[in-house]
Chains A and B, each alone.
Chain A
Amino acid sequence: MSASAPSPARRWRLDDRTTAVVLMLPPALLLFTLFVILPLLDAGYYSLFKWNGYGAPSEFVGLDNYAQVLGHGIFWQSVRNSVIVLVVSIVVQMPLALLLALLVYRQTPTNAAFRLVFFLPYILAEIASGLIWSFVFDGNTGVAAGMFAALGMKPFFILADKDWAFFAITVVVVWKYFGFHMMIYIAALQGVPAEMIEAGKIEGAGRWQIVRHILIPQIKPALMVSGFFAVVGSLQLFDVVIPLTNGGPSNSTHTIVTYLYAFGLTRLKVGFGSAVGVILFLAAIVVAVAYQRTLNKEAAR
């Protein structure tokens, strides 16, 4: 090599690492572009048109679709519903999952059986669980009806009630996903070094103090991750709502995605639906970035 050769630090070498990158990056980038970036750009393009899904979009309306979406009362109702699911996920579902995780994280056969039972709802297909719960809530023949009868009350058709139907949906959401969060916490709890708990016990800490001062701070990363899943999942809630109420009595139980589906796709207003999709995407980005910022601030502390 002559003296003018580039320094080793900057010389590009055909070693294993570069080969791996060159081989694996293009397929991943290709798939990501095809299935995420391109549809996103398409949606942005279609949202500027009034289009019924047939042929090519031809009626340019600019930001009209966005104005219609933002002025539609049912859209804001669906945003409200999505926020309700978000809050319930964080305030009800995560603590419940944490509590159960704390109860069953130790490796014993009984705990393994309980873990399986708690995780089962998550494995069930969303549409199937929605259908099952629609029968449970049925005021004539469902389990709920039996409960009301046992309490001596008249049957209450919760899924037919404009004010309470969404409450029923949040119950199903909590039931469906708490197992997933519980598993995350169990994995994290099992990773807490036994010495720390020993040390705590030696110091004379009680059960609750061990939980509060040792276990929870140790599993903070898991809490952050599961919180992120909860937030993103609540923005995307769709499959459970459709079999239960299909948007609900008088469009009162729509979430953003079911709103997009009902008012965009089934009514053949693809431009309108694309506008909703773009708005949802921007909301998701804002939430994700805000979440990461808070996470980083926490980590830096």
Chain B
Amino acid sequence: MNFKHFRAAAFLAAFASTALALPAFADTAIKVLRSEPGNEGEKALYQQMVTAYEAEHPGIDVQFEYLSTEAFKQKLPTLLQSDARPDLFYSWGGGVLADQAAAGFLKDITADVATEWADRYSAAGVKAFTIDGKIVGAPINASEVVFWTNLDLAEKAGIDIAAIKTWDEFLAAVKKAKDAGVTPIVVGGKDKWPLHFYYGYLALREAGAKGFADAIAGEGDGFASAPFVKAGEDFKKLVDLAPFQPGFMDTTFEQASGMFGDGKGLFHLMGDWDYGSAKQASVSSKGIDDARMSVLRFPAVEGGAGAADDTFGGLNGWAVSSTASAEAIDFLKFVNSPENLAKGAAAGYYIPATKGTEAGITNPFFKAMSEHLAVSQYHQVFLDQALGADVGATFNDVSADLAQGGVTPQEAAKTIQDAWSMR
């Protein structure tokens, strides 16, 4: 072998590769990781914002990466510990965010943003992204879980939706629907979290804000105390009516959403994003006509400690990772500005967590939900996030067990309490 030429060639190759790599170092990269939004349009909106930002800030390269929800949740812990961690990432808040903060993976940006955030976002929104008094992110949207209702099927079953105010009235309506041959409820049981909406909402109505605060603090029987058992019994009353579509434990959320969009069920208990996803997943891609759809707030439960206008839903936003640069925080201020959030709201993607947004929302359903959220005294974040990854998954499992009649309400409440005390 001719080593003389080999060495020269190797040297040249190494030099060339470093030379080619140099321009890449000139740009500051901002990495943003988001779970797949339910809507392709939202991605396009982010792309517009990125282009606008990069035009104004030469030398900055913003990279958005999308992962499907479950893959996102599973990959994040490993990513946050590596050098490939994103600067900004999507978060559902709750116990998972608290765990990340406790492990030191989030940046305290209070000094940088406290006054600005207080001006821009609702108090609940900022609070959701404040851990131990330190602001670690920014809220994007608040969502409320409601019963999306198909008015055509309601008419067919002879049900007056507006008259349903209590849980017993709701059960009566379900029975009426079943007798009329209409599938009362579609639900994505395979994913389990759609079922936890039922148990979670009933727990919210029975236990109220104080009940939850006590259970989380570990007072008394915690999650095994009477209100939670009663919530399980309320759920059992619904399950005993066999209200779900056949084979509901084999239906994913997307399939259930599509089924609702195709008019196969009267009620779908889901968050505001279901407006878009039911249309997208339906056969016709148009879903149900807006005029033939209505929103029913989760009914009150007689004798429950919770207020009838407490809301259950999400308070999602961006979390800032510990190694995020100043440029990344600047981008966060831009992408999450009230103007940019209003664009998403106008397109019907979400209900922004900014102050006084009701005026900017045109979609009547979202407007109504935004008003509910504004007056709600207590907003319970999705329990499978609020309680942390482990107890949250247990909550989902237990809800699925209750929905199949596999456990008694006492056992269900006890399982959650055991998981909570052992976490």
Contact = CB atoms under 8 A, between A and B. Distances in A.
Contacts of A138: 247, 250
Contacts of B105: 54
Interface stretch (B34-42, B220-228, B400-408): B400-408
B285 interface: no
Interface stretch (B8-16, B20-28, B71-79): B71-79
Contacts of B189: 160, 249
B360 to A, nearest CB: 37
Contact of B74 (A245, A249, A266): A266
B58 interface: no
Contacts of A157: 246-247, 249-250
Nearest to A244: B250
B390 A160 contact: no
Given A52-B99, A157-B246, A160-B189, A249 B400 contact: yes
Given A157-B246, A249-B400, A267-B390, A162 B406 contact: yes
Given A267-B393, A269-B390, A250 B401 contact: yes
A268 B99 contact: yes
A54 B400 contact: no
Contacts of B388: 268
Contacts of B397: 250-251
A246 interface: yes
B19 interface: no
Contacts of B406: 162, 250
A295 to B, nearest CB: 39
Contacts of A262: 393
B74 to A, nearest CB: 6
Give the residue among A54, A137, A138 with the most B Cβ atoms within 10 A. Answer: A54
A32 to B, nearest CB: 23
Nearest to B77: A53
Interface in A224-276: 245-246, 249-251, 262, 265-269
Interface in B72-128: 73-74, 77-78, 80-81, 99-100, 102-105
Contacts of B103: 52, 54-55
B104 A55 contact: yes
Nearest to A272: B390
B329 interface: no
A140 interface: yes
A265 B80 CA distance: 15
A140 B246 CA distance: 9
Give the residue among B70, B388, B404 with the most A Cβ atoms within 10 A. Answer: B404
B305 to A, nearest CB: 30
Contacts of B246: 139-140, 155, 157
A266 B77 contact: no
Contacts of A139: 246-247, 250
A249 B249 contact: yes
A54 B393 contact: no
Nearest to A54: B103
A140 B250 CA distance: 11
Contacts of B390: 52, 267-269
B273 interface: no
Contacts of A53: 77-78, 81
A159 interface: yes
Given A54-B103, A249-B404, A160 B248 contact: yes
15 contacts: A53-B77, A53-B81, A55-B103, A137-B250, A140-B246, A157-B247, A160-B190, A160-B248, A162-B406, A245-B190, A249-B249, A249-B400, A267-B393, A268-B388, A268-B390
Given A157-B249, A159-B250, A268-B99, 20 more contacts: A54-B80, A55-B81, A55-B103, A137-B250, A138-B250, A155-B246, A157-B246, A157-B247, A157-B250, A160-B247, A160-B249, A249-B189, A249-B250, A249-B404, A250-B397, A250-B401, A251-B397, A262-B393, A266-B70, A268-B390
The 4 tightest CB contacts between A and B, nearest first, are: A157-B247, A54-B103, A160-B249, A160-B250
Interface of B: 70, 73-74, 77-78, 80-81, 99-100, 102-105, 189-190, 246-250, 388-390, 393-394, 397, 400-401, 404, 406
